[in-house]
Structure 1
Amino acid sequence: MSELILHQYAESPFSEKVRTLLGYKQVSYRKVDIPMIMPRPYVIPLTGGYRKTPVMQMGADIFCDTALICRVIDEMFPDNTILPEASAVSDAALANWVDTFLFRCAVAITFQPRAEVGNAIFKDEAAAAAFAADRAELSKGSTQLQMDLGIAEGHFLAFLNDLDTQLHHVTFLGGATPSIVDFSAFHLVWFVQGREPLRQMFEPFTQVLLWCKRMSDFGHGDVEVIEGPIAVAEASQSEPEELLDKTFVEDLPPGQLVEVMPIDYGFQPVRGELLAAGF
């Protein structure tokens, strides 16, 4: 089995979700630091056009979307599972809500004008403008990342209040150990807290702050940084893993040419031959 390679950039919240999970699982892996914006000459050849971050690689196998990435990591390192069967439906539903609707709230809050004061992400106004143009292209044809700031703040603060209430009674949202919901919720709190002018909104939520410390204490695992060409060469020199459990959705037989793309934003289709389609 090939060693994991994570294609990511430091400021990416969804990358932080996966990095923290790898820390929790105490995984040794390699990472490629990719640009925040296009072009990404050593990622797009691997994904076929998929633009979201992060992407996980194992040899010639490329995994997109953190819902899948986290499930694959949990299957590879099953000790202290984050996907307990006893709460599979509720965990999946809540993690999906956090990663979609609540992420939209976090984006609106994090990129409001007040949060730009002292923002170290962009070195100058030109870099900020380039990022805005890149994300406008990424979200072209979608309204999923658009939300009124007042609505976003109301929902996010209500979530923090509920989160704080629950954490008065449990160590993690998963109970004694974290579940996938912890990692989904943590990366959004981490994202908003990264803007210094916004940190005061967390002050009333003492249990949330303690939980954040517990999550961040997992670290990011044992990481080796490699360059993009090394990862691309490894993919080209490897064979994909055999699909041992091939399952198929009705009317999607293998062998046909298909296009796959996200349903929220990032409508850049990936074209290829279908090998399997299932749940």
Structure 2
Amino acid sequence: MPDLILHHYATSPFSEKLRLVLGYKKLAWKSVIIPNIAPKPDLVALTGGYRRTPVLQIGADIYCDTSLICDVLEHVAPLPSLYPEPGKGLERVVAQWGDTTLFWASMAYSISGKGTADLFAKAPPEAAKAFGEDRKAMSVNMVRHRPGDAAAAYKSYLRRMSDMLDDTDYLVGAYPTVADFACYHALWFTRKRTPSMAGILQITPAVSDWMDRMAAIGHGTMETFDAAQALAVAAANTPHTLLSDSTFQDEHGIPLGTRVTVAAESFGPEPSEGELMAATRTHYTLRRTDPRAGTVHVHFPRIGYTLRKVEA
């Protein structure tokens, strides 16, 4: 199997989620650092438009969204499992909540007040302005929390997580699952990126202790790589997905082989365009060709993404 290539940047919370999953599964991986705002020409050469962070590349297969990437890494290294029985349904539900409801409340709280100053303490004023404009463009389809509402919600969510930790070391059992990784990264951002706002975590000592246990997992074995090398890897390989489900599930009346776009429902709505190669119960796959990357297959989860036919 070709190398695992993670396109990410150090301060990305969703990247931290995957870095810890790689560490939990004791995997070796190659690190390609991408810009934190547009333009991202090297990444888009692989994805066809999608620019959220992170993206996992394995040869000429490009996997978007951490929920799908976790499934891929489970295939690469089945043990320790992110979805242990008998609670895998609950684990996935909690993970979806962590990646959405919890995440957006935590972000709205963390980057309010002194949090913004923390984020850009060592950056010139124009960097903060550019970042704000970039995220505004990515959030065009979203309703965002006001700071006061976010603080109230965040405190409630932390207390609920604390209740989940009353009798166990992790959120749904004795060992980490996908639920833990999906809930951790939002709190990591508060603690590490906006320390002026991190006092909110002190209201739930059990959650702080859980965060320490999660952080101790580490990031696996990382090797520095660059975008030119990653593009060369894509061009030298033939797509061969690691996603195991392949049965066509038609919910849109769009047959395979059709020119389509796939885009996130909310944050980061930039579409990727290509030929529809798969529409299964869990994912979409697009086939596209780029002058530098060659022919690649780009994979998206069904949940949270929209499929549309490209009209002539």
Pairwise TM-score range, normalised by the shorter structure: over 0.9
* 2:229 aligned partner: 230
Q: CA deviation at 1:234?
A: 0.7
Q: Distance in 2 between matches of 1:270 and 1:118?
A: 34
Q: Distance in 1 between matches of 2:245 and 2:19?
A: 28
**Structure 2 residue runs without a partner (length 5+):** 282-312
Q: Distance in 1 between matches of 2:170 and 2:240?
A: 35
Q: Distance in 2 between matches of 1:166 and 1:214?
A: 15
Q: Deviations over 1:43-81 (max 9, x none)?
A: 010000001100000000000000000111012111121
Q: What is the percentage of aligned positions where both structures have the same residue?
A: 37
Residues 63-102 of structure 1 aligned to structure 2 (within 5 Å): 63-102=63-102
Q: 1:121 to 1:33 in 2, by over 3 A?
A: farther
* 1:33 aligned partner: 33
Q: Is the 8 A contact 2:52 2:268 kept in 1?
A: yes
Q: CA deviation at 1:249?
A: 1.6
Q: Deviations over 1:75-112 (max 9, x none)?
A: 21111211124222222222112211222111211211
Point out 4+ residue stretches in structure 1 off by more than 4 angstroms: 242-245
Residues 99-178 of structure 1 aligned to structure 2 (within 5 Å): 99-120=99-120, 123-140=123-140, 142-144=141-143, 146-178=144-176
Q: 1:114 to 1:93 in 2, by over 3 A?
A: same
Q: Is the 8 A contact 2:171 2:180 kept in 1?
A: yes
Q: Distance in 2 between matches of 1:121 and 1:181?
A: 32
Q: Distance in 2 between matches of 1:170 and 1:61?
A: 38
> Secondary structure in 2 aligned to 1:275?
strand
Q: Distance in 2 between matches of 1:196 and 1:138?
A: 25
Q: Deviations over 1:199-237 (max 9, x none)?
A: 211123211111111101111110001111100111011
Deviates more, 1:60-69 or 1:260-269: 260-269
Q: CA deviation at 1:40?
A: 1.3
Instruction: Give the aligned CA root-mean-square deviation in angstroms.
Output: 1.6
TM-score norm. by structure 2 comes to 0.85
The letter of the residue matching 1:160 is L
Q: CA deviation at 1:17?
A: 0.4
Q: What is the total number of aligned residue pairs between the two structures?
A: 277
Q: Is the 8 A contact 2:164 2:172 kept in 1?
A: no
* 1:42 aligned partner: 42
> Secondary structure in 2 aligned to 1:43?
helix
> Secondary structure in 1 aligned to 2:278?
coil
The letter of the residue matching 1:110 is S
Q: CA deviation at 1:175?
A: 1.1
> Secondary structure in 1 aligned to 2:119?
coil
Deviates more, 1:191-200 or 1:244-253: 244-253
Query: Higher RCO, 1 or 2 (CA under 8 Å, sep at least 6)?
Result: 1
**Structure 2 residue 238 is the aligned partner of structure 1 residue 239:** yes
Q: 1:85 to 1:255 in 2, by over 3 A?
A: farther
Q: Distance in 2 between matches of 1:252 and 1:85?
A: 35
**Structure 1 residue runs without a partner (length 5+):** none
